[in-house]
């Protein structure tokens, strides 16, 4: 009997190790489901762009809009702090014509020249995503340069995507009236599964004021390349393609590394 015990111990260790390895492999398979990755990168992309219209406004614009916030996307309550040159937008209006669901708010800080320098999220939720962190801007005429770190986008289950951003947002005018916002740049970070990624805007993303007026803040055109590291030496490449210049819709096409194409939408 004594001779059998060591063999039983060894057998149990081998079986337990095999079970653990299978379980770990199964967990990794779940975490790297390409369709989940598609939803994650689309949600992050959409969440990072949806506030851009507010950056086109100066401090005095918010002062004037505070008497009638219904004219702004999301119909926020506008609190203006003149001494500190800060504006806080609080989204609570359920009857707003803008169909985008927003909760919470964000604070925008302004320089002496009345141009925005920082946007800080305050328990802010857009659709099913919660965003945390502060975004830093430097505006020079019609170009807004962004250099932001540690922006968190949480999904409805509380898992987060962390992003570091270097973006350039160009304001395009037509006969002295703002017509479009064109965005280029790149991002790095880690995804829901803890894996590092990088993203490049391969084709300028363009948002139009016409679409904003319809409550649609998704890019009308543009393309992003997302590269996600699965393990050392193995990177998968996904692509997000936004519609065409003439459309105001709430969807984009994600082409996965395996060639599969998925249509995703921000519609509530």
Reading the chain (268 residues) residue by residue, the pLDDT tens digits are 545 544 444 444 444 444 444 434 434 443 567 889 999 999 999 988 889 999 999 999 999 998 877 678 888 999 999 999 999 999 986 677 777 788 999 999 999 989 999 999 999 999 889 999 999 999 988 999 999 999 999 998 999 999 999 999 999 999 889 999 999 999 999 999 999 999 999 999 999 988 888 878 889 999 999 999 987 779 999 999 998 655 788 889 999 999 999 999 886 4
Please report the pLDDT score of residue 267 as a whole number: 65
Choose among 258, 180, 185, 190: nearest CA to 219: 180
Distance of CA 263 to the CA centre of its chain: 17
The reported pLDDT for the residue numbered 192 is 93
The secondary structure element, H or E, covering residue 42 is helix 34-49
Task: Report in angstroms the alpha-carbon separations of 165 from 111, 168, 260.
Answer: 21, 10, 27
What are the CA-CA distances from residue 220 to residues 90, 197, 208, 237 (Å)? 27, 25, 7, 22
* 64 phi-psi bin (left φ>0, alpha ψ -120 to 50, beta other): alpha
What pLDDT is attached to residue 3? 54
Residues 201, 226: contact at Cβ < 8 Å? no
Contacts of 228 (CB under 8 A, 6+ apart): 37, 191, 195, 196, 197, 235, 236, 237, 238
**pLDDT in the model for residue 25:** 40
Phi, psi for residue 147 in degrees, rounded to 5: -140, 95
How many residues in the chain?
268
* pLDDT, position 223: 97
């Amino acid at each position: 009997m004594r001779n059998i015990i060591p063999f039983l111990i060894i057998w149990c260790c081998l079986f337990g190790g095999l079970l653990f390895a299978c379980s770990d492999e199964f967990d990794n398979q779940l975490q790297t489901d390409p369709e989940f990755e598609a939803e994650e990168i689309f949600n992050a992309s959409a969440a990072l762009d949806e506030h851009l219209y507010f950056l086109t406004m100066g401090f005095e614009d918010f002062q004037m809009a505070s008497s009638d916030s219904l004219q702004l996307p999301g119909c926020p309550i506008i609190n203006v702090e003149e001494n500190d040159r800060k504006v806080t937008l609080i989204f609570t209006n359920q009857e707003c014509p803008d169909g985008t669901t927003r909760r919470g708010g964000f604070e925008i800080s302004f320089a002496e020249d009345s141009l925005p320098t920082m946007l800080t999220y305050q328990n802010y939720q857009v659709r099913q995503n919660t965003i945390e962190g502060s975004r830093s801007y430097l505006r020079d005429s019609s170009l807004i340069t962004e250099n932001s770190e540690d922006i968190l986008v949480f999904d409805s289950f509380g898992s987060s995507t962390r992003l570091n951003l270097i973006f350039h947002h160009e304001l395009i005018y037509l006969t002295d009236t703002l017509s479009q916002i064109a965005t280029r740049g790149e991002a790095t970070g880690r995804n829901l599964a803890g894996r590092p990624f990088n993203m490049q805007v391969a084709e300028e993303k363009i948002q139009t004021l016409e679409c904003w007026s319809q409550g649609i803040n998704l890019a009308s055109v543009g393309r992003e390349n997302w590269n996600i590291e699965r393990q050392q030496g193995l990177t998968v490449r996904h692509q997000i393609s936004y519609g065409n210049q003439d459309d105001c819709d709430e969807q984009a096409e994600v082409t996965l590394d395996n060639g599969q194409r998925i249509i995703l939408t921000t519609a509530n």
